[in-house]
Structure 1
């Protein structure tokens, strides 16, 4: 494990996880005196949810006269993106497969070594290598203490990835990657959506990063995915961060002028995509 890279990333994000140390602590609840005591050093949880093709990808394929690819039986991994980004052999916390109804359940996920977030993604030819954040310590300041349920994982077919790559364009990709890379998958990317309290996409939103030197890497795909701009989200609420293809970059992300949107942990790495949803408050709609 590249421990020095991990420590540098934690310091950069400035996340205080002292509450996540060894020992026992109660689950959060309205009445803490009734909370169960859990041993975080040995706790294992189950992650349950659904894996579906991203709605914008379904629409794109429909316009091309193609049905969305089935996810039944597709392998699914539970991992920490930060560890993936530094090629940590312990980045994967569990694995399973998508069921016929698009549901999934992965048990025995140890929480001890989770630092910033937990993500899940499908691993199958025909899909971009991308994982969706399903638990973010930005909300709790601690690792998961209970099962993660109702997790929503988005799969990105390569046809959708290719459309986004074309929208960004060769010139932008060459500029952002030092002339080396010509696809989003090679460069690495973050694909996000800004939604309101009801889960509906927000048009006209502008994303902000806590690192100003990276702000020029944010793009907003048009509703038809034919081009990108840097003014604000379209009716889809989508935004795209294009990585350099180099070492892992970590940052916090939120929405400009909207204090109800909590700062979120994010990062970008070559060869990998990260998918996340920005919503107001600390509970997903």
Structure 2
């Protein structure tokens, strides 16, 4: 029997029944060449991959002559970000340490607990608590049924977050949050990258939300990260969504004028950053 909270989450999201039940279709959006089919009776998978500093953050620290924070030994949590947003005590689905080269492995992740997406979260002193989406049900509205391998999880240093906060501007963050927040972390935010099939950043892209009343919350950082506009992505391909600092919200986002980039599930909640890569097709480059 499904937990009442799980049923409520599905109802709130308006997911089709297939999103909350099994499917015979293979999973898209994940590398499967070396993965093994899981036991569907137990519906548990492993999530393995590598944790690294967000690319633009690593470049910024290098340009400033700062030593990047070490990720070795940090605890990585695999969780359902929607359930985190509604403070579900069972949102965490597994944990594992980050190795010396950034590698991690989390086993026995219960698939039945995934409603919207699956994310890996890092948080420690010197890092902003952030989750990277490693599986999105938006691709086929089904849960993962095979192990997720070669996942890329991005860490966001506090100094990088502070740079992005200044780029957007405290005045605008306060306006978007009715003066509840002065930083992106306090407001809650999404940090996205738009890339092409080779993984290179895409300039001139505009992100569209399926909730038009939230469209004014999208910002595009300049190449030097010293400012942000609401026009389109710059050469770094980045975009930022500024949350309200209030209750968690969910929506879909996509690229305007492109059918190659499928709509993606997203959400935001105070105190948390969600890292999302928009790429053509279903497999991340």
> Are 1:247 and 2:238 an aligned pair?
no
1:12 CA drift (Å): 5.5
Please tell me whether the aligned partners of residues 223 and 236 of structure 2 are also in contact (alpha carbons under 8 angstroms).
yes
SS at match of 1:236: coil
Q: Which of these residues, 25, 28, 50, is aligned with residue 26 of structure 2?
A: 28
Corresponding residue for 2:135? 135
Partner of 2:55: 55
| Residues 220 and 58 (structure 1), Cα distance of their counterparts in 2 relative to 1, 3 Å cut | same
What's the counterpart of residue 168 of structure 2? 168
* Rounded Cα–Cα distance in structure 2 between residues aligned with 1:38 and 1:94: 16
- 1:89 Cα offset (Å): 0.6
Query: Which residue of the partner structure matches residue 67 of structure 2?
Result: 67
Q: 1-side partners of 2:202 and 2:222: how far apart? A: 13
Matched, 1:83 2:83: yes
Give the match for residue 44 of structure 1: 44
| Aligned counterpart, 2:221 | 221
Residue 64 of structure 1: how far off its partner (Å): 1.4
Per-residue deviation, 1:14: 3.4
In structure 2, what is the equivalent of residue 212 of structure 1? Answer: 212
Separation in 2, partners of 1:151, 1:38: 17
Deviations 1:229-267 (A, max 9, x none): 000001110000000100011000000000111010000
Structure 2 SS opposite 1:173: helix
**1:99-114 alignment, distance < 5 Å:** 99-114=99-114
Separation in 1 of the partners of 2:59 and 2:77? 26
- Superposition TM-score, scaled by structure 2 size: 0.91
Cα distance, 1:27–1:39 mapped onto 2, change above 3 Å: farther
| Structure 2: segments with no counterpart, 5+ residues | 28-35
Task: After superposing the two structures, state which structure 1 stretch, 251-260 or 37-46, moved more.
Answer: 37-46
The CA distance in 1 between the partners of 2:233 and 2:76, in whole Å, is 30
Query: Any idea what SS the aligned residue of 1:82 has?
Result: helix
Q: Secondary structure at the match of 1:231?
A: coil
Alignment of 1:110-189 (within 5 A): 110-189=110-189
TM-score by length of 1: 0.91
User: Which 4+ residue blocks in structure 1 deviate beyond 6 angstroms?
Assistant: none
Any idea what SS the aligned residue of 1:58 has? Answer: helix
Q: How far, CA to CA, are the matches of 1:84 and 1:101 in structure 2?
A: 28
Cα offsets for 1:259-280 (capped at 9, x unmatched): 1110100000011110010011
* Cα distance in 2, alignment partners of residues 39 and 21 from structure 1: 15
SS at match of 2:124: coil
Contact 2:10/2:20, CA 8 A, preserved across alignment? no
Counterpart in the other structure of 2:190: 190
Q: Quote the offset at 1:15 in angstroms.
A: 2.4
- Are residues 12 and 21 of structure 1, via their aligned partners in 2, closer, same or farther at CA, if it must alter by over 3 Å? closer
